């Protein structure tokens, strides 16, 4: 079974600065997807970014980018020019490409943005 | 387009009571999921339904039952609630036939069992 580990329960960043959230995972599969989801105080889960394992190029979405290291099984999220609205719980998730199609989530990192 | 809707948003039960959490999606997705979220543990899969008429257990199915009523609706039932089932419950849906399993989530139900 796959496991996803987020070793930073809490992080803080100054507004306009850059912060990196860490995620590692364990799998024996070669083909899979990884996601970062954001959960603001409203509780609504929002997809931030997606990475396909077969792509060497790191995904980017505006101020959000990932550092995907397949050999190290590492998938970190970088938030540039942090804004107050980025304050949320962030979850890393693993998507097996197999038939079960289940997402395995990490325990989350609570991000605080300081004005 | 409402996406994924859940009812109720909040619920307080006494130990031993039963209730059903409702979920509906209007995106014509085949797959639907029920998760629970507990502090420090992320989201854990309770049950999922890959298509209408099928359901399968996830990581933490004990104490729950599900019904895939039709393609749109997927309900979660607690037959005899226990304090350990105090949690936030999320329903999600996703397409099948695509390469990645992007799931769309409802707003959640906060359940307290006294």
- Section B81-102 average pLDDT: 88
Q: Which of B62, B63, B61 is nearest to B48 (CA)?
A: B61
pLDDT tens figures, B35-80: 999 988 889 999 999 888 899 999 899 999 999 989 999 999 999 9
Confidence check: pLDDT of A100 > 60? no
For residue A101, the model assigns a pLDDT of 67
Note whether A105 contacts B44, CB cutoff 8 Å.
Answer: yes
Query: What is the tens place of the pLDDT at every residue in A27-81?
Result: 988 888 999 999 999 889 999 999 988 888 999 999 999 999 999 999 999 999 9
CA atoms of A38 and A56, how far apart (whole Å): 24
* Set of chain A residues whose Cβ sits within 8 Å of the Cβ of B101: 33, 95, 101-103
pLDDT at site A98:
61
Planar angle of CA B12, A91, A36, nearest 5 degrees: 135
The answer, for B99 touching chain A at a CB cutoff of 8 Å, is yes
d(Cα A54, Cα A61) in Å, to the nearest integer? 18
């Amino acid at each position: 079974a796959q496991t996803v580990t987020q070793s930073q329960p809490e992080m803080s960043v100054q507004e306009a600065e850059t912060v990196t959230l860490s995620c590692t995972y364990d799998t024996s599969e070669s083909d899979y997807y990884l996601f970062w989801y954001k959960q603001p105080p409203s509780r609504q889960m929002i997809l931030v970014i997606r990475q396909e394992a077969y792509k060497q190029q790191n995904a980017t979405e505006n101020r959000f980018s990932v550092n995907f290291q397949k050999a190290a099984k590492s998938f970190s999220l970088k938030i540039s020019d942090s804004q107050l609205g980025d304050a949320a719980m962030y979850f890393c998730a693993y998507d097996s490409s197999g038939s079960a199609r289940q997402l395995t989530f990490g325990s989350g990192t609570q991000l605080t943005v300081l004005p | 387009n409402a996406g994924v809707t859940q009812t109720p948003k909040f619920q307080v039960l006494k130990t031993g009571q039963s209730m059903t959490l409702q979920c509906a999606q209007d995106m014509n997705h085949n797959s639907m999921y029920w998760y629970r979220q507990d502090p420090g543990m992320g989201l854990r899969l309770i049950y999922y339904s890959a298509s209408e008429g099928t359901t399968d257990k996830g990581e933490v199915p004990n104490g729950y039952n599900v019904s895939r009523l039709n393609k749109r609706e997927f309900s979660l039932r607690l037959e005899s609630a226990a304090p350990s089932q105090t949690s936030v419950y999320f329903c999600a849906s996703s397409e099948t036939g695509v390469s990645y399993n992007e799931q769309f989530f409802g707003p959640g139900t906060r359940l307290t069992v006294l």
